[in-house]
Structures are given as C-alpha cells and as structure tokens.
C-alpha cells in the first residue's frame, strides 16, 4: 500500500508540476534570431532572399568542384608514378591507368557540373518568370 511518505512525495510532485504551468513562458519561434541569415549570407548558401533551389544548386556545384579537385589529384598521382617508373613496364602501365581513370573522372565531373548548372538555371528562370506571368 501507500504509506504517508509516498503520498506526500506524489502530492509534492503534482504541486511542482502544477506550478510549472504558471511559471513557464511561451516561446515564440518567429521571434528567435539564431543568426541563420547572417551565416547564410556570409556563405552564399541561404538567407531570406535566396531561393531553396539556388541553395541546393550551390551545394551541388561546391561538391562537384571538390570532386574535380580529387580527379586532378588522381591525374597528378598517375603522372608522378609515371615519372618514377624508371623504365618498368608494369609501373608505367599502372601509372597510365591512374591517369586514364583521372581523366575519365574529370570528364564525368565536368559534364555533371555543366548539366547541373543548366538545369538549376533553367528551373530558376522558368519558375520566376512563370510566377510573373501568372500575376
């Protein structure tokens, strides 16, 4: 059964929770300034005036730029291995594979960059001019 100490404890917890209802101040999310707009404007990836599609396009272009750097590094590694092959056919063949793989990767990344730029710019012009026509 419940003894007197358990009942007192339950009553105190209930009173505490009841008092919290009157002390708690409602939080209005629209009034909070967390600095997101400042960060978005500084990085160029957002803000009040930036469209979500443009932000996603910028992120994709940055990622493809990073991948382009990786592909160039792969080509450089292959070139370095080719230089230090020392006349060995096996090492030279391995270095040529690195160079060919890097060039193919770079071609794929550049075409993806071009396609992404075209699609994002087409989407932005189509949706912004379409909204102006409908008004």
- Interval 45-90: pLDDT, tens: 666 666 777 778 788 888 888 999 999 999 999 999 999 998 899 9
Mean pLDDT of the chain: 79
* Global model pTM greater than 0.85: no
- Euclidean distance between the first and final Cα of the chain, in Å? 72
Q: Which residues of 56-67 are buried (b: 16+ CB within 10 A; e: fewer)?
A: ebbebeeebeeb
Between 29 and 129, where is the model more confident? 129
Count of C-beta atoms within a 10 Å radius of residue 102 = 20
Maximal C-alpha separation, the chain: 93
Distance from C-alpha of 107 to C-alpha of 99, rounded to nearest angstrom: 12
Q: Are 98 and 80 in contact (CB under 8 A)?
A: no
Which residues have a Cβ under 8 Å from the Cβ of 117 and sit 6 or more positions away? 57, 61
Helix (H, G, I), strand (E, B) or coil at 94: helix
Centroid of chain to Cα 47: 15
Write the DSSP symbol of residue 27: P
């Amino acid at each position: 059964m419940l003894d007197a100490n358990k009942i007192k404890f339950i009553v105190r917890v209930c009173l505490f929770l009841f008092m919290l209802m009157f002390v708690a101040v409602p939080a209005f999310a629209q009034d909070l300034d967390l600095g997101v707009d400042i960060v978005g404007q500084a990085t160029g990836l957002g803000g009040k005036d930036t469209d979500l599609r443009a932000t996603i396009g910028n992120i994709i272009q940055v990622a493809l730029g990073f991948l382009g750097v990786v592909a160039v590094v792969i080509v450089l590694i292959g070139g370095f291995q080719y230089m230090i092959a020392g006349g060995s056919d096996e090492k030279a063949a391995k270095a040529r594979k690195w160079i060919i793989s890097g060039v193919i990767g770079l071609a794929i990344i550049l075409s993806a960059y071009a396609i992404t730029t075209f699609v994002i710019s087409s989407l932005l012009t189509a949706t912004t001019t379409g909204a102006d026509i409908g008004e």
